[in-house]
Amino acid sequence: MTLFTSPAWAHGEKAQQPVLRMRTLHWFDVDVSARRLDVGQTLVVKGSFVPSHAWPEHVPSAQQTAFLNIGVPGPAFVRLDNRINGTPGIRSSSFKPGVQYDFVITLKARTPGRYHVHPLLNVKDAGPIIGPGIWVEVGGSAANFSNTVKTLTGQEIDLESYGLANAAGWSALWAMIGLAWFGYWLSKAPLVLPRFRRVVELGNDRADEMITGRDRKAAMLTLTVTLLLVLGGYFWAQERWPVNTPPQTGKIETAQLQREPSPLTVRMDDARYRIPGRSFRIELNVTNNGQSPVSVGEFNSGNLRFVNAKVLQAQPRDPDDLVAPDALRVDGDATIAPGQTRKIVIYADDAMWETQRMTTMITSPDAVIAGMLFFYDAQGKRWAVEISGPMIPLFG
Ligand SMILES: [Cu+2]
C-alpha cells in the first residue's frame, strides 16, 4: 500500500531519463497562486521555460508541435485559460530553442484532494516534458463544482454534462446493432472450423454457396439500417444545431517578447561528475559585457535547483520542492567585473543528484548535459544563460 500512496512517485518525474530532464526544457520561476483552495476556486500556475539548444537528436523537438498543459492525476482541475507570452495556448504551437516563454495557466479546482501540480509541455512524438511540481491542497465538496459556459450563440451550457446523454445514447445504439449482427452469425453455429473446412472442401469459387438467402437478407437489412441511421443522424444534428464549427486543430504562432539582450557570454569548458561525492564540477569561461559586476546565484538543471546562498535566498516550498538552498559554490573570487573575461569553477554538490536519479546520465551513450545558470548583479538583477556540453563521470 505504501508503494501506491508514496507521493514522490505520483508522476514518475524521477523516472524520466536525465537527458530528457536536463536537455529539453529549462523551467524556472514556476509558482502557484495558492497552496490551499476550495472546489470552484481559481488557481493560477505561472512560470517560464526555455527550450534547450542541446535538445537531443533522438527526441522530437518542441520546434515542431507542442502544447502546454498541467500534469495532475485525473481531471482534478479544469483549465479556464492558458497564455504563453500573452498568446492564447488553446491550440498547439512551436517553441524555439533559447527563447524564453512566460506562461500563465488559470485553472478551477474540481475535485477535493492533494495534488502535485506540474506544468508540462506535450511535445508531439516525444511525449510530456514535465516541469517542477508544487503540492496544492483542494478542500470543499465536489458537489459545489459548476462549469458552465456561454456559447457563441448565447446558450448557457453545463460542460460537466453537456452532450453526455447524446454520446451515451448513440454509443448504446451502435453497440446494439453491432451485437445484433454478431448474434445473427453466432446463431448459425457451429462456426469457424466447420465452415473453414467447407471452404477448403468446396474451393474458393464455390465457398459462397454457404451463404443462404436469409443471410443475404439479414446483411441487406443491417446495411440499410446502418446507412439510414448515419444519414438520419446527420440530418437530425443539422436540424437541431444549425450553427456549428468544427474543433479547432490548427497551430498558432506564439509571440516572442522583447527582452534586454544579455551582457553575458558563457562557455562551458569542462564538466565532471564525481559519483561518490555527488558533486558536479563545472569550468566556465565567462565574459561580462555589462555595466555591473555579476556572480553566479543558481544552477538549474533537470528541474533541480542548486543555489548559491551567498547570492540568493531560496527555500523549498514543500518537502518535494527540488531546491538545495546552499548547494552551489564558486571557487575563489565569484564576481565577474564589467569588461572582464574570466574562468570560474562552480560546484553543484547535493544528494539530489542521487535521490532524483540524475546519476543514470552516466549510462547515457550521449553524455551531454545542459542547465541554466543564473547570474545576479548587486541590485538583484538576473541574467539567465544556458550552458551545455559533454560530461565526464569520475568514479573515485
Ligand atoms: Cu509530481
pTM: 0.83
CA dist., res. 235 & res. 106, Å (int): 38
Q: Distance, CA 342 to ligand 1 centroid (Å)? A: 39
Instruction: Write down the pLDDT at residue 232.
Output: 96
Indicate the length of the chain as a whole number. Answer: 396
Q: What is the CATH number of domain 264-394?
A: 2.60.40.1580
CA dist., res. 63 & res. 50, Å (int): 12
- How many of the other CB atoms lie within 10 Å of CB of 54? 19
Q: Distance, CA 118 to ligand 1 centroid (Å)? A: 6
Specify whether the CB–CB gap between 262 and 382 falls below 8 A.
no
Tens-place pLDDT, residues 247-272: 888 899 999 999 888 899 999 999 88
Amino acid letter, residue 333: D
Instruction: Write down the pLDDT at residue 376.
Output: 92
Q: Distance, CA 117 to ligand 1 centroid (Å)? A: 6
Residue 12 CA to its chain's centroid (Å): 12
Instruction: Write down the pLDDT at residue 9.
Output: 45
Residue closest to 136 by CA, chosen among 107, 160, 102: 107
- Domain 2-153 = CATH 3.30.160.100: no
Instruction: Write down the pLDDT at residue 138.
Output: 95
Q: Distance, CA 23 to ligand 1 centroid (Å)? A: 19
The SS3 of residue 73 is: coil
List per-block mean pLDDT (blocks of 10 residues) for the chain, which spans 396 residues: 42 76 93 95 96 92 93 90 94 94 96 94 92 93 91 89 93 96 86 85 82 91 96 94 84 91 91 84 91 92 88 83 86 86 89 79 82 91 92 83
Q: Distance, CA 30 to ligand 1 centroid (Å)? A: 13
- Grid cell in block for residue 384: 539567465
Instruction: Write down the pLDDT at residue 11.
Output: 60
Q: Distance, CA 131 to ligand 1 centroid (Å)? A: 9
Instruction: Write down the pLDDT at residue 81.
Output: 94
Q: Distance, CA 385 to ligand 1 centroid (Å)? A: 26
Rg (CA), the chain: 29
Specify whether the CB–CB gap between 278 and 351 falls below 8 A.
yes
- Grid cell in block for residue 395: 568514479
CA dist., res. 251 & res. 62, Å (int): 13
- Grid cell in block for residue 286: 565567462
- How many of the other CB atoms lie within 10 Å of CB of 273? 22
Instruction: Write down the pLDDT at residue 305.
Output: 92
Residue closest to 9 by CA, chosen among 357, 363, 275, 305: 357
- Residue located via cell numbers 530532464: 21
Instruction: Write down the pLDDT at residue 355.
Output: 79
DSSP letter at 214?
A: H
Q: Distance, CA 67 to ligand 1 centroid (Å)? A: 19
> DSSP readout, 333-382?
--EE-TT-EEEEEEEEE-THHHHTT-GGGGG-SS-EEEEEEEEEETT--E
CA dist., res. 53 & res. 97, Å (int): 5
Instruction: Write down the pLDDT at residue 167.
Output: 94
Q: Distance, CA 106 to ligand 1 centroid (Å)? A: 19
Instruction: Write down the pLDDT at residue 196.
Output: 86
Q: Distance, CA 355 to ligand 1 centroid (Å)? A: 14
Residue closest to 300 by CA, chosen among 382, 384, 376: 384
Specify whether the CB–CB gap between 67 and 87 falls below 8 A.
no
Which residues, in sequence order, are CB contacts of 45 under 8 Å at separation 6+? 30, 31, 32, 33, 70, 103, 104, 105, 107, 117, 119
- Cβ contacts of 164-173, under 8 Å, gap ≥ 24: 170/233, 173/229
The answer to whether the 2-153 and 264-394 domains have the same CATH topology is: no
Q: Distance, CA 248 to ligand 1 centroid (Å)? A: 30
Instruction: Write down the pLDDT at residue 176.
Output: 96
Instruction: Write down the pLDDT at residue 1.
Output: 32
Tens-place pLDDT, residues 35-62: 999 999 999 999 999 999 999 988 999 9
CA dist., res. 377 & res. 353, Å (int): 28
Q: Are strands 77-84 and 127-130 parallel, antiparallel or unpaired?
A: unpaired
Q: Are strands 323-324 and 304-307 parallel, antiparallel or unpaired?
A: parallel
Domain boundaries, the chain: 2-153, 164-240, 264-394
Instruction: Write down the pLDDT at residue 4.
Output: 42
CA dist., res. 23 & res. 126, Å (int): 13
